[in-house]
Amino acid sequence: MSDAKDDVKERVAEFRRSVSELRDEVAKVVVGNDDIVEGVLTCMLAGSHALLEGVPGLGKTLLVRTMAEALRLDFSRIQFTPDMMPADILGTTMIEEDDDGRRHFTFRKGPVFANIVLADEINRATPKTQSALLEAMQEHRVTIGTVTHSIGSPFFVLATQNPLESEGTYPLPEAQLDRFFFKLRVAFPGRSELHAILDRTTTSEPPCARPVLDAERIQSMQRLVREVPVARPVQDYAVRLIEATHPDHADASDDVRRFVSYGASPRGAQAVLLAAKCRALFEGRFAPSIDDVKRAALPALRHRVLLNFEGEAEGVKTDALLEALLARLPESVADGGSKGARR
């Protein structure tokens, strides 16, 4: 038993060292945005994808590029535009002629076949093109006609998007939004951060990150995240939180019933719990707490709770609804489970 505990402690310590080393490399280039960096790391270590939202010029693309530089992984960038077609992302089957003059079909892989895919300004493409990523993001494969092509592991889509109020943008389909583990909002930097940005970017030698982690190490860290045990009360709190986002559930608040059309999906519950596990490991703990679940709630659920017409018309913010839910939801119930009733 003692040997097993020592092994776990060593694995957790090594996990923290790797995360710290990666953060240090990213911090050489990216100024501030510590919460955003942690959010992207959480998505990567959970084996999923991140959506970064913010106005142009806040360093979203720089962050993703720097993350790719700090990892020994294949990287590709897709610049989304209104005239882009699905084949521009996935690849296409072409007719080629060999030396003997015989023709045959050959599949030319698109840029999605990489370990890290930067989907830059993803909401500038039409919904048809955006949807081309659905199968790749969920199942790590691409089907062209009747042939399925696997994407190597690890595989992360790190997408950036401009706010929907920006000119020339299209809303992401709900099914695609649900496939993003976190939606992270990039804020405008403060004065001291602006000074640091100018100091770094207006010199003759801009900083760059060196690669510190490879695919094997990342996959090992992902496996450790999955091995973290979760106490039943912590998991029950996450379940009750998800239920409370549904307007037809008994635990829903008056605001949720009034302004929400659809609540978070089971994939949202998975995201909340996996993110809580990651946060526990970041702090050297091998068990997440309810506080870890609360910290994960906003980025994991803000894009999965869909407002109805009244909510949109009233200008209701999903973050405000979720914060109100977290404030009123009890951390435990007498019977250790949720009511489970539907109205």
Angle between helices 34-45 and 266-282 (to 10 degrees): 110
Note whether 105 and 187 are same-domain residues: yes
Note whether 262 and 182 are same-domain residues: no
Note whether 185 and 221 are same-domain residues: yes
Note whether 63 and 45 are same-domain residues: yes
pLDDT in tens, 146-195: 888 899 889 999 998 877 655 667 788 888 889 999 999 888 888 888 88
Percent of the chain past pLDDT 70, that is, above it, reads 95
Helices (H), 123-214: 127-130, 134-139, 174-177, 191-201
Note whether 56 and 91 are same-domain residues: yes
Give me the pLDDT at residue 165, please.
Answer: 57
Give me the pLDDT at residue 107, please.
Answer: 82
Give me the pLDDT at residue 58, please.
Answer: 76
Note whether 69 and 172 are same-domain residues: yes
pLDDT in tens, 204-263: 677 788 889 888 999 999 999 999 999 999 999 999 999 999 999 988 999 999 999 999
- What is d(CA 136, CA 76) in angstroms, rounded to the nearest whole number? 14
Give me the pLDDT at residue 92, please.
Answer: 85
- What is d(CA 234, CA 35) in angstroms, rounded to the nearest whole number? 23
Note whether 192 and 286 are same-domain residues: no
How does residue 200 score in pLDDT terms, banded at 50, 70 and 90? confident
* pTM, full prediction: 0.87
Note whether 181 and 275 are same-domain residues: no
- Residue 343, domain member (yes or no): no
- Residue 5, domain member (yes or no): no
Give me the pLDDT at residue 248, please.
Answer: 93
Helices (H), the chain: 2-27, 34-45, 60-69, 87-90, 127-130, 134-139, 174-177, 191-201, 215-227, 232-244, 254-259, 266-282, 290-301, 309-313, 318-328
Note whether 52 and 36 are same-domain residues: yes
Asked if 82 contacts 125 with a C-beta cutoff of 8 angstroms, the reply is yes
Residue 190's Cβ-count burial label (10 Å; 0-12, 13-18, 19+) is exposed
**Domain final residue pick, 193, 227, 261:** 227
User: Which two structure tokens, joined as six digits, stand for 324?
Assistant: 């109100």
- Residue 338, domain member (yes or no): no
Compute how many other C-beta atoms are within 10 angstroms of the C-beta atom of residue 55.
13
Strands 103-109 and 91-97: antiparallel
pLDDT in tens, 115-145: 999 998 888 888 888 888 888 888 899 888 7
- Residue 3, domain member (yes or no): no
- Looking at the 3D structure of the chain, how many domains does it have? 2
Domain that holds residue 272: 230-329
Strands 260-262 and 141-144: unpaired
Note whether 78 and 148 are same-domain residues: yes
Mean pLDDT of all residues in the chain? 87
Compute how many other C-beta atoms are within 10 angstroms of the C-beta atom of residue 1.
5
- Look-up: residue for tokens 């000074």? 195
Give me the pLDDT at residue 167, please.
Answer: 63
Note whether 301 and 320 are same-domain residues: yes
User: Which two structure tokens, joined as six digits, stand for 104?
Assistant: 């045959």
Note whether 299 and 325 are same-domain residues: yes
